[in-house]
């Protein structure tokens, strides 16, 4: 059994991070999982934020908590920009304040943690963390990964032919799903976790799908039945559906995306997931 705290989509908001550090001091979990979109902006002010907010904040938290400091696992999201990834990897190695989880499978406390940052094609121009989902189809109003821009040079063939469904199959081919926890920025498609505010909107007379999560991630959950999956990305989904978690087979799925200025924090014990709690602070 492990006590987990989870949040996502803090978007560099100072008050959210202040509340997060305060909560960790008051009631430290075994693990803190951060589900991406950690930065205030993909390109603006990242140096000050990375060093003055993230690095200083987590160092102070470790100094205060000592041996009670949680094991921190994090991924990036589609608004973070891939150009900051080396910094997160370097700090993980140098300071051991956190573990960078994207594209990794790590065993900890009887759990198998899996990290995945990519989301399906969106209307946004930055494509660092976007992949085709199950095919090269792109929803109306969205921009393909090949037509947007990247903050760093990328392999054109990887953009054109790699998909989320292929990534997940390769990443988890040998994973025992009984104790698996997926930390994925995108929620699964057509659930209460991926409901966007697109009601009544159309592109060239074509109504837009209000569900914008990943088909590949949903199929992966249905087919593999992991213990738990944690998501963000669609900030308004909980407000629109009134639901922040859903059971798909045996798999609990939870959306911890922040919305407004509040910090959203989900806390749970892995042997009693049905009693997980969500607070806005």
pLDDT at 77: 97
3-state class (DSSP) for residue 278: strand
pLDDT at 120: 98
pLDDT at 127: 95
pLDDT at 101: 98
Sign of CA dihedral 209, 213, 216, 218: negative
Q: 65: which 2 tokens? A: 């908590």
What are the per-10-residue average pLDDT scores of the chain (281 residues)? Answer: 96 95 98 96 66 95 98 97 94 98 97 98 95 94 91 82 96 96 98 92 86 97 98 96 97 96 96 97 94
Place of tokens 């696992």: 73
pTM (predicted TM-score)? 0.95
pLDDT at 118: 98
- 269 near 275, Cβ under 8 Å? yes
pLDDT at 46: 58
Domains of the chain are 3-280 (3.60.21.10)
- Nearest CA to 38 out of 16, 12, 17 is that of 12
């Amino acid at each position: 059994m492990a006590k987990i705290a989870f949040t996502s989509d803090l978007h560099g908001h100072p008050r959210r991070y202040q509340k997060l550090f305060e909560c960790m001091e008051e009631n430290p979990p075994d693990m803190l999982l951060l589900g991406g979109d950690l930065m205030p902006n993909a390109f603006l002010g990242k140096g000050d934020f990375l060093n003055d907010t993230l690095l200083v904040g987590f160092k102070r938290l470790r100094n205060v908590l000592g041996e009670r400091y949680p094991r921190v696992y994090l991924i990036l999201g589609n608004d973070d920009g891939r150009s900051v990834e080396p910094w997160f990897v370097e700090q993980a190695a140098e300071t051991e304040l956190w573990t960078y989880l994207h594209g990794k499978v790590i065993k900890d406390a009887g759990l198998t943690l899996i990290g995945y940052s990519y989301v399906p094609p969106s209307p946004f121009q930055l494509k660092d963390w976007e992949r085709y989902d199950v095919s090269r189809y792109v929803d109306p109003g969205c921009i393909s990964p090949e037509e947007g821009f990247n903050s760093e040079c990328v392999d054109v063939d990887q953009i054109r032919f790699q998909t989320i469904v292929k990534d997940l199959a390769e990443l988890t081919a040998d994973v025992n799903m009984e104790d698996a926890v997926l930390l994925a920025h995108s929620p699964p498609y057509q659930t209460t976790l991926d409901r966007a505010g697109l009601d009544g909107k159309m592109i060239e007379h074509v109504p837009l799908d209000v569900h914008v999560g990943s088909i590949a991630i949903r199929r992966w959950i249905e087919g593999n039945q992991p213990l738990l999956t944690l998501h963000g990305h669609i900030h308004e989904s909980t407000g629109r559906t009134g639901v922040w978690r859903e059971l798909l087979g045996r798999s609990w799925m939870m959306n911890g995306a922040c919305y407004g200025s509040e910090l959203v924090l989900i806390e749970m014990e892995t042997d009693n997931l049905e009693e997980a709690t969500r607070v806005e602070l």
